[in-house]
Structure 1
Amino acid sequence: MRQISEYIVRLFEKRGVICASAEEREVYIYGFDIAIYTFLSTLGLFFIGWMAGRPIETTLLIFLYYINQSFGGGFHASSHLMCFLTMVLGELLFFVSFLLPYSLLACIGISVISLLFMWTHPLVLHPNKSYLKKKAPQLIKRSRQILLLETTLLVAFILLNIPDIIQTGSLALLLSTISRDVPILKHTGIVDFS
């Protein structure tokens, strides 16, 4: 992906779309690398969901997880491959959950615990994003607004009694909570993931 990103940046430089210093060039390469990885990994997750016969649930899972990860932070793997494998593992656990008997009470319990955890830990910044500390109050507010919106949607789905969507929402919240908890545990030294 790095080579593809470098090629795109060179192409843009040749066409005069960008004119960058060496430092800015690295930022462009990094941005394209992340964009390409995100596109390909999301496509891979959608494909797995389609193969598992759960395209709608997979779409909702990915959307909710990405939203929580983007606005509240969480676990970041050491490489694109490890990140993708971690997401696939979470997705496979998600599919296995559909083999268990559905329980509205369990889904509500998982959702409440997950929402409370993320409310009390609304922002977990990766060390590479420490420059965002100055904006922490705004980011925390936005993260909590997202959680309130997710709570509202979950309540609506509960009232509409849509079991697969309720289960998907509760498990997406659980996976988001786990992702947010891992860096906290790592930082406190409770768990060592190295």
Structure 2
Amino acid sequence: MKKTLIIAALAFFGMANAQKGTILVGGNVYYNTGKNSVGPNENKSNYFEFAPMVGYQFTDKWTAGIVGGIASQKNENTSNLNPASNTEQKQNDFKIGAFGRYTIPLGETFAAFAQLEAGYQGRKDEDTSFNGFFSTTTTSKASGFFVGITPALFINMNKGFGLNFGIGGIGYETLNYDNNGGDFSQFNISFGQSFNIGISKNF
């Protein structure tokens, strides 16, 4: 049975009091680790993600800026029948793009906003096999683009600090691998399937 432990999950979505002429700075940090045993095989996984963002609030409702992100994933598979033999998969991702946000105040305490993001992304995969004597590594690279829209609710707590609640969104992404390695595309609707809570502050 797979057991996954979420060590940290923080999301910063800057909006604060929706004040014209303020600077938005934020990002999210997420770490996940898991262990899964099936028969004689044991699999360990680790995932880390950091996605910063910075923007400028042009009006009380419109904000625009830059988003980025890096992510690293590692999976190790070991056989208890032959501990010297194992496989390892590493995946490193990065993103850079722009975002636009439209905010609708619902009073002094609440506000709703929708954020549209789009940009370039890249990926590097490394697959390594070790038989106890020799190791073989295969590397592949890919690039593509991403676009997505995410609605959320903001609650102003005190002096511009607040909480943000998101319940998923709509996204589309592509990755094209080098050396005829194949293409990847994905359309995702995650309303009600994911949930995050964050804090925010405008400067």
Is TM (by shorter chain) over 0.5?
A: no
Normalising TM by the smaller chain, what interval?
A: under 0.3
More strand by share: 2
Q: TM-score when scaled to structure 1?
A: 0.23
TM-score, with length taken from structure 2? 0.22
Please identify the structure whose Cα radius of gyration is greater. 2
Q: Which has the higher helix share?
A: 1
